[in-house]
Amino acid sequence: MDKLLEEIDSLHKSLETHRVYQEINDLDALRIFMSFHVFAVWDFMSLLKSLQREITCVELPWRPSPYSKEIVRMINEIVLGEESDVDLQGKACDHFTLYLEAMREVGCSTEQIDSFLIDFDLSPLADEIKNFVSFNLGLALGDETHKVAAAFFYGREKLIPDMFDGLLSFLKKQSLHCPKLIYYIERHIELDGDEHSILAKKCLDELCAGDEEKLAQAYEVGKKSLELRVKLWDGVLKKLTNEDSLALS
């Protein structure tokens, strides 16, 4: 398990400084990046709602959750922040909708993600998007809860603040006019760095409860989540640079 944790740490660091951020140097490049990234924004919510469904009670008639009240509260707090945050004008807005608005602000088409949300057909998507979304949906739709929590923590809540720091620094250097995207990124750095990553780790710890088999499974899922994110970013980079083979940065 120590080896798995080392691999997770290495993948995490590679995503903090991935070459793709350096290539987002104009609005055309930003549009390509966002057309890939929006699928990760969307399936994040599927992971989160899967955890909410399994850990809290969303069925009728209602019954108390078998999990601790602390973990129930944690999941509901994350859902509140992601599904009912505020936009730049202080109006209630979920983060996915906020991202779509950021795409439209820079002239990025939402046609592909809009079409996908009609029938959830993965076939027209780039392989990197397809593999990323398929993995996370497979977890969200029926895998064990501790595995979903592992993808949510290692592949999202722990990763996003550090990864977005790298992206944000390059966006600001290029002086691209994308205030809604900047707000979206800064909001996630704030929420995930200060609150959500801590809550997600506590959730994963409670679900694994020190069980070595569950911990090993969680680490494997965490590693796979990060590997697929690297491949997703590699796919963006390939499209931006027309390179056929890419190495981790």
pLDDT tens for each residue of 50-90? 999 999 999 999 999 999 998 999 899 889 989 999 999 99
Asked if residues 249 and 18 have their Cβ atoms less than 8 Å apart, the reply is yes
**Rg for the chain (alpha carbons), in Å?**
18
pLDDT for residue 131: 98
Q: Which tokens sit at 143?
A: 């895998």
pLDDT given at position 249: 40
DSSP state letter for 26: S
- How large a percentage of the chain has pLDDT more than 70? 96
Q: Which pLDDT score, from 0 to 100, does residue 248 have?
A: 40
Task: Sketch out the chain's domains with CATH numbers.
Answer: 1-237 (1.20.910.10)
Q: What is the pLDDT of residue 163?
A: 92
- Rounded CA-CA distance 249/240 in Å is 15
User: Residue 243: what pLDDT?
Assistant: 52
What is the Cα–Cα distance from 187 to 59, expressed in whole angstroms? 31
Helix axes 27-55, 111-119, angle to 10 degrees: 30
pLDDT at 56: 96
What are the φ/ψ torsions at residue 171 (nearest 5 degrees)?
Answer: -60, -40
- pLDDT score recorded for residue 190: 83
Amino acid, res. 186: E
If you search the block for the tokens 């499209």, which residue do you land on? 239
- Asked whether the predicted pLDDT for residue 211 surpasses 60, the reply is yes
